[in-house]
Amino acid sequence: MKRPLFTFCLFVISVLVILTCCGVFSKEGNSALLPEHGSVITVIGTVCKTDSDKIYINHLQIFQSSEASSTLPDKFTFSISLDELVDTTPPRIGNSVKITGEFRQFSHATNPGEFDAYDYYAAINIYGSLRKTEISVTDNRIYPIRHFLYLIKNAGMSAIKSAYSPVDASIMNDLLFGDKSGLDPEIKELYQRVGISHILSISSLHISIIGLGIFSLLRRLRCPVKLSAIISASVLIMFGIMTGMSISAIRAIGIYIIGMMAKLLGRTTDTLTSLSLVAVIILLINPSQLTSCGFLLSFGSVTGICCLYPSLKKIASDYWHPKARYCPDTHLQKISGYLKKLLYALLNSLLAGISLTITTLPIQLYFFYEIPLFSTFLNLMVIPLMSILMICGYLSVFCPFLYIPGKICELILRFYKASAELFESFPHGQWNPGRPTPWLIILYYLLWLFVVMYPHIKQYIKKPLKIRLFKSIISIRDHIVCITPVIFILLIIGFNSPTLPTNSVIFINVGQGDCILVYTDSKDVLIIDGGSSSRSGVGQYVIKSTLKYYGFSHISAIYISHPDNDHINGIVELLSNSQKWNLRIDNLYLAKYANSETLEINALQTNAPQTNTSLISSGYIADYGSVHIDCLHPTVDFESPDTNEASMCLLLTFNNSHVYENPDYKTTLLLCGDISGFGEELLNDAILPHSPITLLKVSHHGSRYSTTDAFLSAAAPSLAFISAGANNNYGHPHAETLQRLKEHGCTYYSTIDCGAITINIKPSCITIKKYIDLYNAD
């Protein structure tokens, strides 16, 4: 079938992809239009949207003095948390407001795998938030339709909250009205881990039930086709506005409207053409959606169903298909015929799920770094009940006097949770190869395209193309199924290869704290410290994300220098959630000295029942391939009331004599925790036999009371690295410490300026990459 409109849309999308790769649609230029982060500004704008926890304003004029300093483009939106509006009635949609508050610009990621808030919100045209606000309404005009839809949504959500338990109500409000603000975090994480979080999005199923339901009802009432199409499409548009117009909702509503327009005009259309046309419209309005995870997953999943599913279905039908007609002589033959039909329907559902998974696999790995292996089978149990859940859910909202629909919803939600927990308990349920490289993704989709296109080009092959394999003749033309394993072989070999070179060290930017990750040539992953006093959830949102990004789910050892929160709270998160996050941690090492903090040690051991916990002191040695570790401090009999002075100090020696031409070539890395005072004085003597030191992690985040002249003279480091948080309350790193480093000829790098700092020990050289500037290598 010829698709001229699809071909044109494909051409437009290709042009937009090329322009995006060339940086034409970069979002960075918009940052220059925004106020300074942390500045107090006055904003005049219009309330364009209201959620249960935030309001959003656009048409922004910004005042930083008596005169307007800037007028932002109409698409720019600021968000304001309703928690900030103390003793103030929230404005209505359409109100003009004047707001004074502290401007907060969303930040970029500063670590591999970390969530990039700026890119995420910029893709939906939200460029900042206001805190500590004072708000006043300057014009009471409202957008009547939007405000009416907001009232309906609030009434529906209130009905849900009164009819269900808090956890079930949060799920139903998300499922029926697209409100994610109150979604129970444990349920959200559970659904994400097992691969069924998509059921909480407003998608094609909602549109089919509502749109086609209204259209069919109007036609039964003998309403004209044209009027029925217009009414159903209008209701869907209002439903989309009410639920927030997510990408999946826009896609589904757009396809429905195009289908209705084709029916009214007497034309034909197909899902693939409609899908491409909707994608072009979205991208022309907001090209940055092309790099958005939501856009790629939403359109990629439907593309898989439209393109790959027919090919896989044809392959399956070549091997087995139940007969279309049955002439049973007995009841047993009749039952057998029904069972074959049922099995064929299950096979088609399974093939549809496989098509979706195969098509979106690189997208999921690129953004989330891991996938649940059993999600396709779990969705076979979950998706068939979605229609019942939605219909009963809306009945429980609009017909609250009915008792049964609400109970059916509760039973289905219980079934979903039990099924998710069951599948999560299966061993090896998560596959974490890390983020694939772009060239591997391109090769993957070239193979995917070949499988999709082969049934169409097969007819042009005059003779079957045959190859000899294990003394058998296999016809590629007739058995395309032989091509499919190639894709999975590519996945196993390519996607599962870590992108981080061996003998690498990463100083992870955890803010005001420390975390060092070491990846050795023996494939061992080591973590030294992991905590922060300036960032909450650093274990989940920073350390775990970095591990997943590189495909690391097995940690050979964690070393904790001392039990202060800014070195340990992220590690506690990893230990407590290791099973849930699919992390295996073999060993945990803490410093042993005369007055060790037993309370902290006992707390760590409680959180790590599956991990071997040991206490070590000076004299401890360990080898991980060519990486040799020496513990230089503290001694067993060391006493100090200050945990900083008793910090565990590790010397890592990268002995590459068996790899490099120079047999004496070694690189040393000294990790000092927060050592200072008397502890640092003792360390000076222990360092001398290993001096000069190649790499130094500056102790105590660059405090003026550590890294003294005597210490620098003893260590003689060439390069130094400082882990500290921007604008921290302690003033780290102090100017005196930086001056001492300069005077001793030591070049230093700080996570404040560089983000995560990655060091790779190569033959006869060391490369340093800053995450904030990946192209800067020394």
| Average pLDDT of the segment spanning 729-748 | 93
Q: What is the pLDDT of residue 649?
A: 95
| Average pLDDT of the segment spanning 481-508 | 74
| Average pLDDT of the segment spanning 285-306 | 89
pLDDT band at 657 (very low <50, low <70, confident <90, very high): very low
Q: What is the pLDDT of residue 760?
A: 93
pLDDT at 67 exceeding the cut of 50: yes
| Average pLDDT of the segment spanning 188-204 | 87
481 vs 252, more confident: 252
Contact residues for 155 (Cβ-Cβ < 8 A; gap 6+):
none
Query: DSSP labels for 490-516?
Result: HIIIIITS-SSPSSEEEE---SSEEEE
Q: What is the pLDDT of residue 660?
A: 42
Residue 635 to residue 616: CA distance in whole angstroms? 9
Lowest mean pLDDT among 486-490, 512-516, 597-601, 631-635: 597-601
Q: Report the DSSP pairing between strands 554-560 and 584-591.
A: parallel
Q: What is the pLDDT of residues 126-157, one digit of tens each?
A: 888 888 888 888 888 989 999 999 999 989 99
Q: What is the pLDDT of residues 353-365, one digit of tens each?
A: 888 888 898 999 9
Q: What is the pLDDT of residue 600?
A: 59
Q: What is the mean pLDDT of the chain?
A: 84
Q: What is the pLDDT of residue 133?
A: 80
Residue 323 to residue 588: CA distance in whole angstroms? 62
pLDDT at 324 exceeding the cut of 50: no
Length of the chain: 778
* Cα distances (angstroms) measured from residue 74 to each of 96, 126, 242, 599, 607: 14, 11, 21, 56, 50
Peptide bond preceding 692 in cis form (omega within 30 of 0) = yes
pLDDT at 181 exceeding the cut of 50: yes
684 vs 343, more confident: 684
| Average pLDDT of the segment spanning 16-42 | 80
Q: Report the DSSP pairing between strands 504-507 and 747-750.
A: unpaired
Q: What is the pLDDT of residues 554-596, one digit of tens each?
A: 999 999 999 889 999 999 999 989 888 999 999 999 988 766 6
Q: What is the pLDDT of residue 326?
A: 47
